[in-house]
A and B are shown apart, each in its own frame.
Chain A
């Protein structure tokens, strides 16, 4: 089965840039979606189709992918960005959705 690997945690100082990676075999050939989940809340879509932003999501959030890694980049990080971030892809070989294990972003 397809596996997505994320680092458990990433820390960044306010105003700096955070990069959260999502590794998977040839993930560059798949569409990657990213979700933000604040404590006690439901997930919110922040990036879809690798790099598109839903309305209402700040331009500070961007996505990219190539080869075996997808990356969610949050520029000029704010305290309110502190949350868990999860990547997602559709595995067409098994007809399953796959989520990464999630990365906890801590704003120092």
Chain B
């Protein structure tokens, strides 16, 4: 059974940093691209970032480029999102999602999400 579990969310001050993790199990993690998607309170889904199966390519939404960094450790079956220079508008539930292929493709599994609150 595919399982994705995010961690690392919490309350952080504007300008601060946070690192999210997503522990994956139940599939060959190294064979699939992975993504981060966020959802601000009462809003729709917003794609944040994606990384290919081997980390050969990364992609970022314009709203986070230069501030967020996606990475993965295939030996630990874990996806990461390093978030720097956080702003109030980054407040959201952050989901990790498994792509159905090694490169960008639809998301066939999602984690339950972790809440990030940016506030002073």
**Interface of A toward B, CB cutoff 8 Å:** 1, 31, 33, 35, 37, 41-45, 48-49, 54, 84, 86, 88, 90, 95-102
Binding site for A on B (CB under 8 A): 35, 37, 44-47, 50, 59, 61-62, 95, 97, 100, 104-108, 110-113
Q: Are A49 and B44 in contact (CB under 8 A)?
A: no
Contact A54 B59 (CB under 8 A): no
Q: How many contacting A-B pairs (Cβ < 8 A)?
A: 58
Asked if A42 and B100 make an inter-chain contact with CB atoms under 8 angstroms apart, the answer reads no
CB-CB under 8 A for A45 and B106, given A1-B62, A97-B47: yes
A97 touches B50 (CB 8 A): yes
**A95→B62 CA distance, assembly (Å):** 11
Given known contacts A48-B106, A90-B104, A96-B61, A35 and B47 CB-to-CB distance under 8 angstroms: no
Given A42-B95, A42-B111, A42-B112, residue A97 in contact with residue B44 (CB < 8 A): no
Q: Compute how far the CA of A43 lies from the CA of B47 in the bound complex, rounded to whole angstroms.
A: 13
A97 touches B104 (CB 8 A): yes
If over half of A's interface residues share one DSSP class (helix, strand or loop), that class is named, otherwise mixed; here it is strand
Do A49 and B106 touch across chains, with their CB atoms under 8 A apart? yes
CB of A33 within 8 A of CB of B106, answer yes
Closest to B103 in A: A90
Q: Identify the closest chain B residue to A100 (Cβ).
A: B44
Distance (whole angstroms) from the CB of A93 to the closest CB of chain B: 13
CA distance A96 to B97 in the complex (A): 15
Can you report 27 residue pairs joining A to B where beta carbons are below 8 Å apart? A33-B106, A33-B107, A35-B107, A42-B95, A42-B110, A42-B111, A42-B113, A43-B45, A43-B95, A44-B110, A45-B106, A45-B108, A48-B100, A48-B108, A49-B106, A88-B107, A90-B104, A90-B105, A95-B59, A95-B104, A97-B35, A97-B37, A97-B47, A97-B50, A98-B47, A100-B44, A102-B44
